[in-house]
Structure 1
Amino acid sequence: MRKQKLITQLTGFILFGMLAGCATSAKDTRDPMENWNRGVQTFNDNLDDYVMKPVAKGYQWVTPSFVDRGVTNFFSNIDDVGVTINDLLQFKLSQTGMDGARFIVNTVAGIGGFIDVAEMIDLPKHNEDFDQTLGVWGVPTGPYLVLPFFGPSSPRGVGGLIGDAAMNPISYIDSGIITGSLFALNATDLRADNLGTEKVAAEAAVDRYEFFKNSYFQRRNYLVYDGNVPEDEEELELDEDYLSPVSPY
Structure 2
Amino acid sequence: MTQRVFAAILAMGLGACASTQSVETGTVSDPYEGFNRQMFAFNSEVDKYALGPAAGAYETVTPEFARDRVGDFLHNLKSPVIFINDVLQGEGDRAGDTLGRFLINSTIGVAGLWDVAGYNGIEKHSEDFGQTLAVWGVESGPYLVLPLMGPTTPRDLFGGGIDRALDPLNWTEFADNPDLDDHIAIGRSVLGGLNARVALDDQIEQLNAQPEPYVALRRIYSSQRQAEIRNGRINEEEAYDDLPDFDEFE
- TM-score by length of structure 2 reads 0.78
1:196 match: secondary structure: helix
Equivalent residues in 2 for 1:25-44 (5 A)? 30-44=29-43
Residue number in structure 1 paired with 2:159: 160
Matched, 1:223 2:228: yes
Q: Cα offset for 1:127? A: 2.4
Inter-partner Cα distance in structure 2 for 1:119 and 1:113? 11
Equivalent residues in 2 for 1:1-249 (5 A)? 30-174=29-173, 175-203=181-209, 205-235=210-240
Q: How many residues align?
A: 214
Change over 3 Å in CA distance of 1:188–1:147 after alignment to 2: same
Q: Cα offset for 1:241? A: 6.2
* Contact 1:84–1:100 under 8 Å retained in 2: yes
What is the CA deviation profile of residues 169-200 of structure 1, one whole-angstrom value per residue up to 9, with x for unaligned ones? 44234332332222222111211222221132
Gaps of 5+ in 2: 1-26, 174-180
1:31 match: secondary structure: coil
* Contact 1:141–1:154 under 8 Å retained in 2: yes
What is the CA deviation profile of residues 62-94 of structure 1, one whole-angstrom value per residue up to 9, with x for unaligned ones? 012221111111001112222111110100111
* Contact 1:218–1:234 under 8 Å retained in 2: no
* Contact 1:131–1:160 under 8 Å retained in 2: yes
1:152 match: secondary structure: strand
Q: Cα offset for 1:157? A: 1.2
* Contact 2:28–2:143 under 8 Å retained in 1: no
What is the CA deviation profile of residues 114-138 of structure 1, one whole-angstrom value per residue up to 9, with x for unaligned ones? 0111112211111222111111000
2:141 match: secondary structure: coil
Gaps of 5+ in 1: 1-27, 243-249
Change over 3 Å in CA distance of 1:231–1:239 after alignment to 2: farther
* Percent of residue pairs bearing the same amino acid type: 33
Aligned Cα RMSD in Å? Answer: 2.3
- TM-score by length of structure 1 reads 0.79
Q: Cα offset for 1:60? A: 0.7
Change over 3 Å in CA distance of 1:241–1:133 after alignment to 2: farther
